Amino acid sequence: MNYTSEDIRQIVERQRTYFREGETLDVKWRINQLKRLKDGVLAYEREFEEALQQDLGRSAVEGYLCDILPTITEINETIRGLKRWARPECHYSGLMCFPSIVTKVYKMPYGVTLIISPFNFPILLTLGVLTASLAGGNTAVIKASSKSAACTAVLKRFIAELFPPEYVTLVDGGHDVADMCLAQRFDKIFYTGSPAVGKHVMAEAAKHLTPVALELGGETGNWCVVRKDADLKDAARKVAFFKLCNAGQICININQVAVAEEVAEDFVRELKMAFAKQIGDSPLTNESYPKLITESAYDRCVALADSHRNRIVMGGQGDRSSRRYSPTILYPIGIDDPIVQQELFCPLLPIVPFKDADVDWLMNVIAEREHPLAMYLFTRNRRWARRVMRSLQYGGGCINEVCIHLMVQGVPFNGTGHSGMGAYHGEWGFREFTHPSTVLMGSNRFNLSLREHPYTGKAGEGKLKMLKMFSK
């Protein structure tokens, strides 16, 4: 469908009218909608897997592991916890408010929300965010990615089958449609994508003072640090798995690995063996190996690899017709090289050697750059690792592991600064899509004149003494 600005305006207005009717406020009703969403995901499982294969070359296993299963898990967690999360909080108002001693905090929906989802995990990062929005009692307009066209087409049919358009609507199209959406007054916007577009989303949202949550990849990428005391085989196995996943097109993926130079050669050797064991010697013909999303993404990957051709120690081959590019190790790469100061979003993996004794210097360099969405440390020195994780600014991460912090229930996910703002998953998603409204329950008996005039003379002096007593 070719949308116009008027089409988008009408969609938003219909949702606003529906929201004001109050049906979405009932928590039991919301839970029923989430159950409907889960049943729909299960029914569309095969179609989602086929669309993921068409857009990204994902195998059924990878599609289910990375998109479908986490979506179902997110919905399940939300269904189980929503009654408790949505329950109004009761607070003691304090002596200053006597005799009105009870205050309630209601978790109120924002209203009409806009969800702008990306191409790399088109099912999870659409329906996972939608889960949080619906749990909060909102309506939702979804702008899905035009790059993952097959997934967007299935999602559009899926949403239309499950929900009336005044409750949830998915619109497709390119950047022009996204800008039409951003021109409208929404009550909450959730965007997943690049920092550059995130700035544009914020600028447009600011025109209406609309609160925004951003999940961004970070401009200088996510670091993995391998110290000389690390289990190199274990680290290489996990790094290889993660870099193969979705051909590196993951916001929390490892952008570059800093390896203690004392063990760098050994690590590179282990990494080569790990890649070969997991994907084989011919990844370009391996049907389970994903592809890059567009020809322009493939061409950018090729250009970056060709500019470092003399430092490719594994990989460096591609097939433009299938858009597959082999996992490629670049070694050695300097810490100030341009390739480690940008988000790669492809199967290239720069290896940056450093002296293990200079690890604190390395961490300071990382800290001076834009905050990453993820941080990964491999070391047996857990005291050092915990100190780093407590002191650096980043979204989330792992010690001696990769990526699966994303799967932990009950904890928040997102970045900070150039890697995002806000947080979601489970209760954190519910909080992101609701605003707390504080309501004091007033009393018409035993009210004191402490706050009222006169403020002068003996009455004023007595009131001042009484007020100062409350400050002790």
Contacts of 398 (CB under 8 A, 6+ apart): 376, 377, 404, 405
Helices (H), 174-294: 175-182, 195-206, 232-244, 264-279
How far apart (Å, rounded) are the C-alpha atoms in residues 168 and 159?
Answer: 7
Cis before 454 (ω within 30): yes
Q: Indicate the SS3 state at residue 426.
A: coil
Residue 183 CB neighbour total at 10 angstroms? 14
Residue 181 designated active-site: no
| Contact indicator for 349, 256 with CB cutoff of 8 Å | yes
**Please, which contacts does 196-204 make with residues 24 or more away whose CB atoms are closer than 8 Å?**
198/420, 201/116, 204/179
Residue 364 CB neighbour total at 10 angstroms? 11
Contacts of 286 (CB under 8 A, 6+ apart): 279, 280
Q: Which of 66, 181, 224, 251 is catalytic?
A: 251
Q: Which of 204, 215, 219, 343 is catalytic?
A: 215
Residue that has been written with the tokens 């005044």 in this structure: 166
How far apart (Å, rounded) are the C-alpha atoms in residues 122 and 460?
Answer: 65
Among 357, 398, 349, 329, which Cα is nearest to 229's?
Answer: 357
How far apart (Å, rounded) are the C-alpha atoms in residues 16 and 110?
Answer: 11
**Cα–chain center distance at 395:** 9
Residue 403 designated active-site: no
**Cα–chain center distance at 145:** 15
Q: Indicate the SS3 state at residue 390.
A: helix
| Contact indicator for 464, 454 with CB cutoff of 8 Å | no
Q: Which H or E run contains 328?
A: strand 328-330
| Contact indicator for 254, 224 with CB cutoff of 8 Å | yes
How far apart (Å, rounded) are the C-alpha atoms in residues 23 and 37?
Answer: 17
Q: Which residues are catalytic?
A: 215, 251
